[in-house]
Amino acid sequence: MVTQYKNLINGEMVDNGQWLDVVNPATEEVIGQVPSAGAGELDNAVAAARAAFKTWKKATFEERQAVCMAISGVIKENADELFRLLTSEQGKPHAQAKGEIFGAAGLAAAQSTLQLEEEIIQDDDTRLHRHRRVPVGVVGGIVPWNFPIMMAIQKIVPALMAGCTIVLKPSPFTPLTTLRIAELIADKVPAGTVNIITGEDVLGPMITSHADIDKITFTGSTATGKKIMEGASADLKRITLELGGNDASIVMPDADPKKVAEQLFWASFQNAGQVCIAAKRVYIHEDIYDELSQAIADFAKTVVVGDGSEQGTGVGPIQNKKQYDRVLELIEDAKDNGYKFLTGGDKDPSGTGYFVPLTILDNPPEDARIVAEEQFGPVMPLMKFSTEEEVIARANASEYGLAGAVWTADTEKGQEIAEQLETGTVWINEFMHLSPFAPFGGHKQSGFGAEYGKEGLKEFTYPQVITVKKDNVVA
Ligand code: NAD
């Protein structure tokens, strides 16, 4: 019998006797089961969070920090077990899973230093004017399957640091490591402050529309984000949405192809391309297009696609069948349209596991589906450009606005281009680096609000202003 993982509600690990299977995407074998929670379990979790909020909102900064540091410590101490479990359910290679686990522990520690100091707007003979931040209350957190632990931590920790309590729902595709962490922290966080429940996608809308949840923090697709905004409108819940992206990387003619080829490859193929901030459109200046595209394709041929638990694997499978079918459909569409492939696109991807050969396209048109849509898979379209003005316009011609990158020897010029890109984050000569202290959020249809830093913390609070008129009641 496979291991059954339980939900965390009010400090207890519980189940309801109904189970969902969780599959390893490399082997298609069932590797665990989690509770299929419904309205009853959600009500219990929300009631526990509401009760805990009464005392947690009064916890001092030091008390909140101690709990968040305990979460960080537990993840670090159990990293070996956790990263293996993460690879088995998510598919990413061990080294990347280890990176996610230690990254989540580090993020928890860093974010536990964040606080929103009270601001004194005015303090003179006539008036004291205070601006303080107060927690919004009970938070519903909804998480996707590409970075399940990082995303869970970046919701739980700021919620707690703001004085909120949380009911978190992992993706039904990747709930195991999150529930194992739930078990490990159950006696380290005050009962009811953190509740983790699992269920099918229908549990998401139940959270969004739950009358006793005050705020939704969501990471996932833009399509689901729109539904959440709609669901949250009934009682004007506060929302933070981290959504999809179709990030452009712009490679200027002064970038050295030998230096950037490998970096650009990983900007697209890390986590099998299932990264919201992956390089999903790569624009290369015509002067270096041939040399750089060849160098990227040559490097791709050295990278092994396989089971993430096997040594030497660089790129794992697609996480689930639905996404696998979608990526294959985009590749099929590119083939039907006669676009040129530098690698991939030619093999039959049948067999066990959701593996897709590394696919690099040679200058497909801008309106190709594989360019215009978020692929979220091991696919990298390379496109040629001539002028700066043209490439900025092409990069911005997207409904998304999550992130982007510029690769150039001239970092002043890089920043000048960055300032013209319509995205929440732009890197010069690197990719995917996020600081726990800088706001991360999407422009346009890539999001609403931000996570990380004080800006992210603020999203779990309301402003409250208290004014004291000093000179009008006393004689
Ligand atoms: P998804 O939107 O399908 O699912 C995300 C979560 O929402 C899951 O837990 C799912 O069960 C739940 N859900 C599904 N339908 C719901 C509904 N109607 N109401 C409430 N919840 C619902 O996304 P996914 O396929 O898991 O993740 C991939 C997407 O996430 C990509 O578009 C990617 O770009 C995006 N993403 C964005 C960021 C970011 O920070 N901006 C980070 C990671 C992933």
Nearest atom, ligand 1, residue 200 CA: 11
Per-residue pLDDT at 203 exceeds 90? yes
Whole-number pLDDT of residue 159: 98
What tens digit of pLDDT does each residue of 66-100 get? 999 999 999 999 999 999 999 999 999 999 999 99
Whole-number pLDDT of residue 227: 97
Pairing outcome for strands 30-35 and 400-401: unpaired
Judged on CB neighbours under 10 Å (0-12, 13-18, 19+), 428 is: middle
Q: How many other C-beta atoms can be found within 10 angstroms of the C-beta atom of residue 115?
A: 14
Nearest atom, ligand 1, residue 224 CA: 2
Can you give 179-198 as a three-state secondary structure string?
HHHHHHHCCCCCCCCEEECC
Whole-number pLDDT of residue 201: 86
pTM of the shown model: 0.97
Partner residues linked to 466 by β-bridges = 130
Nearest residue CA, atom 34 of ligand 1? Answer: 244
Do 1 and 40 meet the contact criterion of CB atoms below 8 Å apart? no
Whole-number pLDDT of residue 359: 98
Mean pLDDT, rounded, for 258-286: 98
Helix (H) or strand (E) holding 32: strand 30-35
| Pick from 180, 1, 164, 170: nearest CA to 84 | 180
Mean pLDDT, rounded, for 23-50: 98
Whole-number pLDDT of residue 473: 80
Partner residues linked to 340 by β-bridges = 362
Do 268 and 236 meet the contact criterion of CB atoms below 8 Å apart? no
Mean pLDDT, rounded, for 287-314: 98
What tens digit of pLDDT does each residue of 47-71 get? 999 999 999 999 999 999 999 999 9
Cα(170) to ligand 1 centroid in Å equals 10
| Alpha carbon distances (Å) from 262 to 68, 101, 294, 431 | 36, 24, 11, 12
Dihedral sign for Cα 313, 315, 316, 317, please.
negative
Mean pLDDT, rounded, for 276-284: 98
Mean pLDDT score of the chain:
97
| 430 annotated active-site | no
- Residue in 41, 89, 100, 242 annotated catalytic: 242
Whole-number pLDDT of residue 471: 82
Whole-number pLDDT of residue 350: 66
What tens digit of pLDDT does each residue of 339-381 get? 999 999 866 556 899 999 999 999 999 999 999 999 999 999 9
Which residues sit with their C-beta closer than 6 Å to ligand 1? Answer: 142-146, 169, 171-172, 201, 204-205, 208, 219-221, 224, 227-228, 242-245, 276, 374, 376, 402, 442, 447
Share of the chain above pLDDT 70, in %: 99
> What pLDDT band is residue 1 in, cutting at 50, 70 and 90?
confident
Whole-number pLDDT of residue 347: 60
In testing the pocket of ligand 1, which one of 90, 171, 440 has its CB within 8 Å of the most ligand atoms?
A: 171
Cα(366) to ligand 1 centroid in Å equals 26
| Pick from 176, 227, 220, 228: nearest CA to 198 | 176
Nearest residue CA, atom 39 of ligand 1? Answer: 242
